[in-house]
Chain A
Amino acid sequence: MCVVFSCMLFTAASQVNEVYFGAGNLTPVDVTTSDDHQLYSGTFTASGINSVNGAGMPARQMEASRFLAQSTLCYDREMIEDVIDWGVENWIDSQFVIPPSYLLDSLYSIYDQSKAIWIANGNSEESYPFRPNHVHMDYTWWQVSVRAEDQLRQRVAEALSQIIVASLNSDLNGYSYGMGYFYDLLIEHAFGNYQDLLQEVTRSPAMGVYLTYVNNPASDTVEMTFPDENYARECMQLFTIGLDSLNLDGTPALDGMGNRIPTYNNDDIAEFAKIYTGLSYADRIDENDPYWGMGIWSADLTIPLMMYEEYHEQGQKNLLNGFVVPEGQTGIEDIEDAIGHLFDHPNVGPFVCKQLIQRLVKSNPTPAYVEAVASAFNDNGSGVRGDMKAVVKAILLHEEARSCTWVNHPDQGRLREPILKQTQFTGLFEPITPYEGKYWNYSYWFQSGTDMHPMRSFSVFNFYAPSFTPNGPLADEGLVAPEFGIYNSRTSIGYANQVYRWIDSERLLQSSWYEDNYHMPADLSILLEYAKDPDALIDYLDVILTNGQLTDQTREIIRSTLLPYGLSINNLVSKVSLGTYLFLVCPDYNIIK
């Protein structure tokens, strides 16, 4: 555990005390003061007996906050205390048993509510969207995922959504219930098995639309058309094995000449493409029967795709490394075999686990770290392959995620994804004026500023590539930093302007035109008390935002900015606004170590 002893919130009479606390020593030490001195009128005083036993020490709060920044979309002070009280592993176990919060049902009810509000405000039903669209999906994600009790599961689902990508920036745009069904698979299997996830994703209408294999027929040698290869390629390249053969520790396996070894070639893609033929919608949202070749507009996108055998490519398929899918099987059996075959490939553990580490903890895990997590993927300890719970625990409990030595390592670090900064801020300073209990946030402004929002990737390649390296010292050191792939001259200022919106424009969350752009400010009132003493405010924000990583250099800039302000309410508000803005924008916060 980190040993950091930082200044307290009250002034104690100066006295040298030889008993140590921190460094694992939790013996309580009573500290009394010689008078009831107060720096300023308000909550905090130096009066009374305060028992300092380590529980209230910033160090443990910083560590808990840092852990929660790795393992949730957002958290509040209560959750910080829970982590301190129970310890990290117990907290994880407690998260495993919380029932999952799903999106799809809420999506429908949010659509109905929003429509009712629209009509109650005097608008016509005809002028409202016919079906839940991308706006309602935003609302649902913010109402359900961000505020869920099962935060660890939601965070893992969000991480998986950046590996197994489907997006509303596609033909799915007006059909967000398809997206809801898909995202719920990520939520469901975040603590399940990776093979189950792959199998169900392959059968999901959303993925069928996104990677264009709905209504994808077998080869036709007369018309000279061949199966669509989109899913065959991307399922391998992005969802399972990647382009190059990997060692268990994530490093590329090399041949005798020192070259990388490709995992598949174009012929393999063509073979796999035969597998993903014959799938189309299983039902419609009206009374009619589904049929091969039907369009998306009346399709039921919330049940698995169905196999139309007459359009499935017959015959044996020869997949990787001599694996044969025999002739004479049903199309579904073919798919199950093929997905199972990919799942069994030794690349999957390191390929997927390294990316999950990158999403949760750090951009450049050591090979040892990758190997530890990939080993847990390969065998959870009870002979099961693909157990996500084992993977999640291996990632979060590893010393590279937890220990102080690693926190201070120069290679350690990750640029926080834009969305996680908004969700974290929302968790810590949750609006107290939701729209009748609805935290319905429309993502448009945030996306425009930062080029990112869940379920809005511009391509199946996610917002940024796992191997992206920004020009500069990171490239010189051979390190990657994927999140810099969307951080440029526009989005750097764009993100800062989002922070301005949250704080000074009082628009932490904002609905769409359906709800008259109703906006919800962050509730920063708790900071007003701390703001009476700039050091206290900075210390507090250093605990919950920068996890103790605030550099002296940045601290000094913020401090000197806040010092001239006095204690009037306007001045306190200015200090809170400036302080939180500068914290959220400074490099010390944006990079999590």
Chain B
Amino acid sequence: MHKLNKYKSRRDFLKLSAMATMGLATPFSSMSRMRAMNSMLPAPPFTGYKAIVCLFLHGGNDSYNMLMPKSGTPYSDYQATRSNLAIDSAEMLGIESDNFGLHPSMSNAQQMYTDNELAYICNAGTLIEPVTKQQYLDGVAPLPLGLFSHLDQFNHWQTALPGTRTNIGWAGKVADLIGDQNGNQFIPMNVSLSGSNIFQYGANSSECSMNSSGPVLPTNWDATWGHNPQRRAALDSMIHRSYDDMYMGTYNSIFRDAVDGGQDFQAALENSYDFATPFSGHYVSQNFEMIAQTISVQSDLDFQRQIFWVRYGGWDHHDELLSDHQNYLSVVDAALGEFNSALKEIGRFNDVTTFVVSEFSRKLTSNGNGTDHAWGGNMMVMGGGVNGGSMYGNYPSLALNSNPQLVHNGTLIPDTASDSVFAELAMWYGIPVSDLISVFPNLGNFHDMMSLSTSNPPLGFMKLL
């Protein structure tokens, strides 16, 4: 029998904060005190529900074999440059009147593109400010730190601060800004299916971690055998006391919120939607299924905004690109298709935007049977809120000669900044334009912040009006 946390919503919390003066479960963190203060103000209007899902392909997705030219000179350039790694035009799944094609593994993506549910953003990458090829070669432009290093680039996509190394991510900053407007204040706005990450870590926020079975709770929390019930009772008692010592109090409040929040979550998931859509057994699909289940109970849990994180590792295809990449892309394609279908079952397809990124794309030229680290690449965005069926940014020339974006024999300098993509997602999510610069400090290097608005967005791939 699950004990639902007695403060399920801010309304209940109002009652409890009045009781706090009686020495009962005193809210400990200043976040709690801020909530208590907020309760005196009118609740800011959060209409409806929105979620962002980040699927991070860790290792470097060779995205010029995910979206490539299918005909004409662009295709011949592609074939020539990619040599033994080029996919034959006849195998590609055509889009844009067969001017472009998708990897043969991505039939769901092709369907979604045709249905205007999925968009591509071309040659996007981490930038501090725009860089031309000449500036790059002259060494006069500031460049992201550790430009071809997995760890640095992986972090830069999460922090939106490629000129520094920091542990604060942009989803964390978003949570800092608006997380306290969620009805549920005991489970964080940010949910990770793949453990701790920088993306969701803010100054005042961190992620709630789950795996594909749901939130982690103390072992045998519900067990009735042995001395488990006694353990639970003692622990429950211990974590609901207050501690004068600052360090002990902090340790305790985090533990307490984790247990209380986790129980609530698990209880809510008991009533999650029974999807007709079958999800594949691969962990990426399983994680998406858990996300879909979580979204299906967002009302019970009183969430209006959530950001999810899934990391899919293993993309560093220095070797065996063709065979491995095919398998990895089909996993992604399956998961996206399944998630798309499940969201439609619960009427949330317009409310959830999924974006798929990787820390860098890979060199166009082959190293024999694989490719090495590069920079600008193609990313996907999927959802009912997306102006799908279009390619945004500039699809670059893939020719080796006279290529204005190409350096190092196969690396493309991005001409769309990851910041631009993130900022538009954040705008859709509900972050005011005036707050964007605090989340994406470099954004002004790419856009005139004074004229940026929902009718003049960075790229136009989201339905903002």
In angstroms, Cα B220 to Cα A230, docked, is 46
Q: Are A489 and B206 in contact, CB atoms less than 8 angstroms apart?
A: yes
B-contacting residues, A47-78, CB 8 Å:
none
User: Are A582 and B234 CB-contacts (below 8 A) given A487-B254, A587-B243, A590-B251?
Assistant: yes
A476 within 8 A of B: yes
Which of the listed residues A486, A488, A554 has the most CB atoms from chain B within 10 Å of its own CB?
A: A488
Interface string of A458-497 (1 = CB under 8 A from B): 0101000100001111111101010011111111111011
Which of the listed residues B138, B231, B257 has the most CB atoms from chain A within 10 Å of its own CB?
A: B231
Q: Are A582 and B249 in contact, CB atoms less than 8 angstroms apart?
A: no
Q: Are B247 and A493 in contact, CB atoms less than 8 angstroms apart?
A: no
User: Are A415 and B237 CB-contacts (below 8 A) given A489-B261, A490-B196, A490-B258?
Assistant: no
**Chain B residue at minimum C-beta to C-beta distance from A582:** B234
In angstroms, Cα B125 to Cα A6, docked, is 64
User: Are A557 and B238 CB-contacts (below 8 A) given A471-B204, A486-B196, A489-B188?
Assistant: yes
Write out the residue numbers on chain A whose beta carbons fall within 8 Å of the beta carbon of B250.
470, 472-474, 481, 484
Write out the residue numbers on chain B whose beta carbons fall within 8 Å of the beta carbon of A497.
216, 218-219
B217 within 8 A of A: yes
B18 within 8 A of A: no
Write out the residue numbers on chain A whose beta carbons fall within 8 Å of the beta carbon of B230.
561, 574, 578
Residue pairs across A and B with CB atoms within 8 Å: the count is 156
In angstroms, Cα B234 to Cα A561, docked, is 6
Write out the residue numbers on chain B whose beta carbons fall within 8 Å of the beta carbon of A554.
238
A128 within 8 A of B: no
Decide if the interface of chain A is mainly helix, strand, loop or mixed.
helix
A-contacting residues, B189-228, CB 8 Å:
192, 195-196, 203-204, 206-209, 216-220, 226-227
A130 within 8 A of B: no
**Chain A residue at minimum C-beta to C-beta distance from B31:** A471
Q: Are B196 and A493 in contact, CB atoms less than 8 angstroms apart?
A: no
In angstroms, Cα B247 to Cα A588, docked, is 9
A209 within 8 A of B: no
Q: Are A493 and B255 in contact, CB atoms less than 8 angstroms apart?
A: yes
> Interface residue count for A (Cβ, 8 Å)?
57
Partner of B209, one of A224, A475, A490, A561: A490
Q: Are B249 and A473 in contact, CB atoms less than 8 angstroms apart?
A: yes
Interface string of B134-164 (1 = CB under 8 A from A): 0001110000001001010001000000000
Interface string of A215-250 (1 = CB under 8 A from B): 000000000101000100000000000000000000
Q: Are A489 and B28 in contact, CB atoms less than 8 angstroms apart?
A: no
Partner of A489, one of B149, B209, B238: B209
Partner of B254, one of A363, A477, A488: A488
In angstroms, Cα B243 to Cα A504, docked, is 28
> Min CB distance, B298 to chain A, in Å?
18
Write out the residue numbers on chain B whose beta carbons fall within 8 Å of the beta carbon of A581.
231
Partner of B139, one of A224, A459, A553: A224
B-contacting residues, A309-367, CB 8 Å:
363
In angstroms, Cα B218 to Cα A492, docked, is 10
Q: Are B209 and A500 in contact, CB atoms less than 8 angstroms apart?
A: no
Q: Are A473 and B195 in contact, CB atoms less than 8 angstroms apart?
A: no
In angstroms, Cα B228 to Cα A436, docked, is 33
A84 within 8 A of B: no
**Chain A residue at minimum C-beta to C-beta distance from B142:** A266
A146 within 8 A of B: no
Write out the residue numbers on chain A whose beta carbons fall within 8 Å of the beta carbon of B216.
490, 493-494, 497
In angstroms, Cα B244 to Cα A360, docked, is 24
Partner of A451, one of B31, B146, B196: B196
In angstroms, Cα B227 to Cα A500, docked, is 12
Q: Are B165 and A557 in contact, CB atoms less than 8 angstroms apart?
A: no
> Min CB distance, A239 to chain B, in Å?
15
A-contacting residues, B234-263, CB 8 Å:
234-235, 237-238, 241, 243, 245-255, 257-259, 261-262
Write out the residue numbers on chain B whose beta carbons fall within 8 Å of the beta carbon of A471.
29-31, 203-204
Q: Are A582 and B238 in contact, CB atoms less than 8 angstroms apart?
A: yes
8 contacts between A and B (CB under 8 A): A410-B246, A472-B250, A489-B258, A554-B238, A578-B234, A587-B252, A590-B251, A591-B245
Chain B contact residues, CB within 8 Å of chain A: 28-31, 137-139, 146, 149, 151, 155, 165, 167, 188, 192, 195-196, 203-204, 206-209, 216-220, 226-227, 230-231, 233-235, 237-238, 241, 243, 245-255, 257-259, 261-262
- 9 more contacts with CB within 8 A, not counting A496-B255, A504-B226, are A415-B251, A472-B30, A488-B207, A489-B258, A490-B196, A492-B258, A497-B216, A500-B218, A581-B231
10 closest A-B pairs by beta carbon, nearest first, are: A490-B209, A587-B248, A413-B247, A472-B29, A489-B258, A591-B247, A561-B234, A492-B255, A500-B219, A473-B246
